[in-house]
Amino acid sequence: MSKTLLVTGSSGLIGSEVCSYFAHQLGYTIHGVDNNQRAVFFGPQGDTRWNQQRLAQELELTGFVHHELDIRDRAGVHALVSEIRPDAIVHTAAQPSHDRAAAIPFDDFDTNATGTLNLLEAARQCCAESPFVHLSTNKVYGDAPNRIARRELETRYELTDPAFLNGIAETCTIDQSKHSLFGASKLAADVMVQEYGRYFGLPTCALRGGCLTGPNHSGVELHGFLNYLVKCNVEGKEYSVFGYKGKQVRDNIHSLDVARFIAAFIDAPCAGEVYNLGGGKDNSCSILEAFKLAEKYSGKAQVHSYVEKARAGDHICYYSDLRKMRAHYPAWNVTISLDEIVKQIVESWQKRQPTT
C-alpha cells in the first residue's frame, strides 16, 4: 500500500512540484489542498487553476485527490487530516506578498499564522509521527540582513562581513527589525512550527526560502520576482525596479531542488529544525543581472522603469548559507543552475503566449 502525502497549496509552484516528485519518484498517493486563494489575493494573473488541471491530468494514474479547502477552516482542516492520516504533510499554502499584506492584514495573518496552527494541531491530534514540512520565508529575518557589511559592485551588492561570506545563516537574528506584515505573520507560523517540534516532539521543520522559482510559477508583480521578470521580458511589458539601483541580490532555487530537500527531510526528520533554503551564492543574481539572463534566452530587450523608493523591509543583498542543510543532509545539493532556471522559465512563458 502506497504512502500518503498531504500538500497544502498544491496548485502553487512548490506545492505542485512536491506533488509530482512524490508521486512519480517515490510512489506516494497525493492529497492536494488548494482553493485558488492566490487569484483572490492577486487577481486573474495569480490564478492557479491551470496548474491544478495540469496536475490532475499528470497524476491521474498515480493517485491524486484534490480538496477544495481553505486552511483557515479549522474544523475542515481537522476533519481532512483525521480522515487521511497522512504519512507526511508539506505545508506550502500562504498569502505570500509583502505589499498585499498591508492591505489585507487579517486575511494575511489568518492564512499564514492561524492556518499553519490549524494544520499543526490537526497533525498533533491525528498523525503525530508524520513529518511536517513548512515552507517559511527568509522574510522572517526582516531587514536585519541589511545591517550586514557589503560593497557595491557594477551590477550588484555583495556581502563583505567575514561571518557571512557564505551567505545568510540560520543564526541571523529574527528580532528587532522591520519585517512587513507578511514577514511578521510568516514569522509567527515559523516559530509555531519550531515549537510543535521542540515542545511536543513532532518531526517538524521550517524552510526559510529565498527565491523559490521555476517554470510552473504564476508570477505576479507582488510575488515571484524571477518568474514575473521573465514574464515581462517575454511579453514585452515594463518591469518596475523598486530602489537600490536594481543591484539588490537574491538567490534562486528551482522548485525541483526544493522538492528533493523536502523528500530528504521526510526520509530522516528532526524535531523543530529550521533551514535557509535557497540557491546559495552560486545561484544568486541582482535584478540587473537577471535582465541580462532573460535577454540571453528570449532574444528580447528588457523593458523596465525605476522607482526610487524601495519596498518596506526589502533585502538589499540576500543569499542563503547552505552549509547547515548540506551538513544534515549530505546527499542533497542544488542541481539546477541559475542559467538553466531562467532558460526553463523563458521557454514556459513562450509556450503560454497566444498564437497569432
- CA dihedral of 9, 229, 138, 178, whole degrees rounded to 10: -110
CATH number at residue 287: 3.40.50.720
> What is the pLDDT, as a whole number, of residue 36?
81
Q: What is the pLDDT of residues 217-267, one digit of tens each?
A: 666 665 668 999 999 999 999 999 999 999 999 999 999 999 999 999 999
Strands 88-91, 4-8: pairing kind: parallel
290: in domain? yes
Structural domain total, the chain: 1
> What is the pLDDT, as a whole number, of residue 268?
98
Given a contact cutoff of 8 angstroms between Cβ atoms, the answer to whether 84 and 30 are in contact is no
Task: Count Cα neighbours of 220 within 13 Å in the Cβ-side half-sphere.
Answer: 21
Task: Give the type of residue at 66.
Answer: H
Given a contact cutoff of 8 angstroms between Cβ atoms, the answer to whether 255 and 14 are in contact is yes
Task: Give the type of residue at 99.
Answer: D
356: in domain? no
Starting at the edge strand that comes first in sequence, how are the strands of the sheet with 4-8 ordered? 64-67, 29-33, 4-8, 88-91, 132-137, 204-209, 273-277
Domain, as residue range, for 288: 4-349
115: in domain? yes
111: in domain? yes
User: Mind listing the pLDDT tens digit of every residue in the chain (356 residues)?
Assistant: 789 999 999 999 899 999 999 999 999 999 999 998 776 776 777 777 888 888 888 887 788 999 999 999 999 999 999 999 999 999 999 987 877 889 999 999 999 999 999 999 999 999 999 999 999 999 999 999 999 999 999 999 999 999 999 999 999 999 999 999 999 999 999 999 999 999 999 999 999 998 999 987 666 665 668 999 999 999 999 999 999 999 999 999 999 999 999 999 999 999 999 999 999 999 999 999 999 999 999 999 999 999 998 877 789 999 999 999 999 999 999 999 999 999 999 999 998 877 65
300: in domain? yes
Q: Which three cell numbers stand for residue 251?
A: 538567490
Backbone angles phi, psi at 239, to 5 degrees: -105, 130
Query: Helix, strand, coil proportions of the chain in percent (round to 5)?
Result: 45, 20, 35
Q: Which three cell numbers stand for residue 183?
A: 514577514
> What is the pLDDT, as a whole number, of residue 314?
84
> What is the pLDDT, as a whole number, of residue 15?
95
354: in domain? no
355: in domain? no
Listing DSSP states for 41-100 in one string gives HH-GGG--HHHHHHHHHHTTTT-EEEE---TT-HHHHHHHHHHH--SEEEE------HHH
Distance CA 47, CA 12 (A): 9
10: in domain? yes
Distance CA 1, CA 27 (A): 10
